[in-house]
């Protein structure tokens, strides 16, 4: 059986230090849910609380309706996969996968059948009699994964399972994990600090900072309408530029630099004012290069040709350096020192309050 995980007002303290002040979250049945955030933000701490390896200083964790705060780890029916594999070096692949089933006193013939099934699912059948030391990192991680899911856990927890693998294998394995999770449908909580990995595998993501969820949403929501400047800069690449919003007859105009202003239609300001300072997140692909001198004046510093796209690093008149991506043209790449003019894709950019805490850009569009 797979479960809903309900976390309510959860508090974690290590001695006097509060690492998670009050966290509430509902993870849906069968969902692939990711905790994403910089190192030290509390991802592992929260995962270990769900697993039962960390004490809970306040609030509750429930599986379906049942509060599990006091349930010991071995009775939570959880499968876990860690960064360092943690498979038994003295057991074969088969032995490793069978271990949890033997512990549960499942009859021998059933164990053999279950192990064979799962070996197929994670595609390591041909290695079943090997010792772990004769497997590659990716193969060992498949063993760890097989061992975690063969017990048919209610919840699958994974803590940076791919960090020790090289870049190409990481991508192969993340696809394998995603496919596997879809197939077995176990409620999964996945921890990573890698935003691209999070976007690739997750149904929903919670972006955390200092034990507090900054934004909870689908990969698309988080990328396109990040809740604050922290999330905008953590997910993907972006440029944060200062600007001014001015209101004329109920409509907003966004001004950047001295000369460029553009009407913006999807702005909601809680306390409307005639004019207010804002921070604007413009991703490299959200700039338009133009000859039109009413745009933002910028000077090319250097360019990087990457095939499909060309990246330009340009200096604004304020001295701020920003990054722009344009689809590569067959004409010549712009040279350092050339002056260009920029406009922004007003439907895509995000406009925040001066503190960068509140997104003024239209909600409910996704």
Identify which of residues 44 and 141 has a Cβ nearer to Mg ion in the complex.
44
Identify which of residues 212 and 269 has a Cβ nearer to ligand ADP in the complex.
212
Identify which of residues 41 and 264 has a Cβ nearer to ligand ADP in the complex.
41
Half-sphere exposure of residue 104: CA atoms within 13 angstroms, side-chain side: 15
Interface mask (CB under 6 A) for ligand ADP, residues 45-64, using x and -?
x-------------------
SS3 at position 118: helix
Calculate the alpha carbon distances from 340 to 16, 290, 295, 345 in Å.
54, 7, 9, 16
> Is there a contact between 121 and 180 (Cβ–Cβ < 8 Å)?
yes
* Distance separating alpha carbons of residues 277 and 67, to the nearest angstrom: 46
Candidate ranges 43-51, 107-115, 138-146, 312-320; the one touching ligand ADP (CB under 6 A): 43-51
Candidate ranges 35-43, 102-110, 114-122, 242-250; the one touching ligand ADP (CB under 6 A): 35-43
Identify which of residues 37 and 52 has a Cβ nearer to ligand ADP in the complex.
37
Partner touching 335 among Mg ion, ligand ADP, none, CB below 5 to 8 Å by kind: none
Choose among 321, 314, 230, 327: nearest CA to 279: 230
83 binds ligand ADP (CB under 6 A): no
The set of residues, in sequence order, having a beta carbon less than 8 Å from that of 221 and lying 6+ positions away, is 215, 366
Identify which of residues 128 and 209 has a Cβ nearer to ligand ADP in the complex.
209
Choose among 133, 103, 139: nearest CA to 119: 139
Helix and strand tally (H, E) in the chain? 8, 20
Identify which of residues 45 and 310 has a Cβ nearer to ligand ADP in the complex.
45
Question: In residues, how long is the chain?
Answer: 366
* Distance separating alpha carbons of residues 218 and 33, to the nearest angstrom: 10
Residue 210, sorted as left (phi over 0), alpha (psi -120 to 50) or beta, turns out to be left
The only residue of 34, 42, 234, 314 in contact with ligand ADP, by rule CB under 6 A: 42
**Count of residues that interact with Mg ion, criterion CB under 5 A:** 1
Candidate ranges 42-50, 232-240, 278-286, 319-327; the one touching ligand ADP (CB under 6 A): 42-50
Cα 225 from chain centroid (whole Å): 14
* Distance separating alpha carbons of residues 219 and 194, to the nearest angstrom: 13
**Count of residues that interact with ligand ADP, criterion CB under 6 A:** 10
23 binds ligand ADP (CB under 6 A): no
Partner touching 303 among Mg ion, ligand ADP, none, CB below 5 to 8 Å by kind: none
Partner touching 14 among ligand ADP, Mg ion, none, CB below 5 to 8 Å by kind: ligand ADP
CB of 9 to ligand ADP, least distance (A): 18
Give me the residue whose beta carbon is nearest to Mg ion: 44
The only residue of 34, 44, 228, 361 in contact with Mg ion, by rule CB under 5 A: 44
Q: Catalog residues that contact Mg ion under the rule CB under 5 A.
A: 44
User: Which residues are near ligand ADP by CB under 6 A?
Assistant: 14, 19, 37, 39-45
């Amino acid at each position: 059986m797979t479960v809903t995980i309900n976390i309510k007002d959860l508090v974690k303290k290590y001695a006097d230090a509060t690492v998670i002040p009050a966290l509430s979250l509902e993870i849906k049945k069968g969902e692939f849910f990711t905790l994403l955030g910089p190192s030290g933000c509390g991802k592992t701490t929260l995962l270990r609380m769900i697993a039962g390896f960390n004490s809970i200083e306040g609030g509750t964790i429930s599986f379906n309706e049942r509060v599990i705060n006091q349930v010991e780890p071995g009775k939570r029916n959880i499968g876990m996969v860690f960064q360092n594999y943690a498979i038994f070096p003295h057991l074969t692949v088969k032995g490793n996968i069978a271990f949890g089933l033997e512990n549960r006193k499942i009859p021998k013939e059933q164990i053999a059948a279950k192990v064979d099934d799962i070996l197929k699912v994670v595609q390591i059948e041909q290695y079943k009699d090997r010792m772990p030391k004769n497997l590659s990192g990716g193969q060992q991680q498949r063993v760890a994964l097989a061992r975690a899911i063969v017990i048919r856990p209610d919840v699958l927890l994974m803590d940076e399972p791919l960090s020790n693998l090289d870049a190409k294998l990481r991508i192969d394995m993340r696809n394998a994990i995603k496919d596997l999770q879809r197939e077995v449908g176990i409620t999964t909580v996945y921890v990573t600090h890698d935003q691209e990995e999070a976007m690739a595998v997750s149904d929903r993501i919670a972006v955390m900072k200092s034990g507090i969820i900054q934004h909870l949403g689908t990969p698309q929501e988080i990328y396109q309408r990040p809740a604050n400047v922290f999330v905008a800069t953590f997910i993907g690449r972006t440029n944060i530029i200062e600007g001014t919003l001015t209101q004329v007859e109920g409509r907003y105009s966004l001004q950047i630099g001295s000369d460029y202003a553009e009407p913006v239609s999807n702005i909601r300001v809680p306390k409307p004012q005639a004019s207010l300072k804002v921070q604007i997140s413009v991703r490299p692909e959200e700039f338009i290069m133009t000859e039109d001198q009413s745009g933002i004046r910028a000077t090319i510093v250097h360019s990087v040709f990457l095939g499909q796209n060309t990246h330009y690093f340009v200096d604004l008149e304020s001295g701020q350096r920003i990054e722009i991506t344009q689809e590569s043209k067959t004409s010549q790449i712009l040279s350092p020192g050339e002056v260009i003019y920029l406009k922004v894709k007003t439907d895509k950019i995000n406009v925040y309050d001066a503190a960068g805490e509140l997104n003024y850009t239209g909600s409910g569009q996704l």
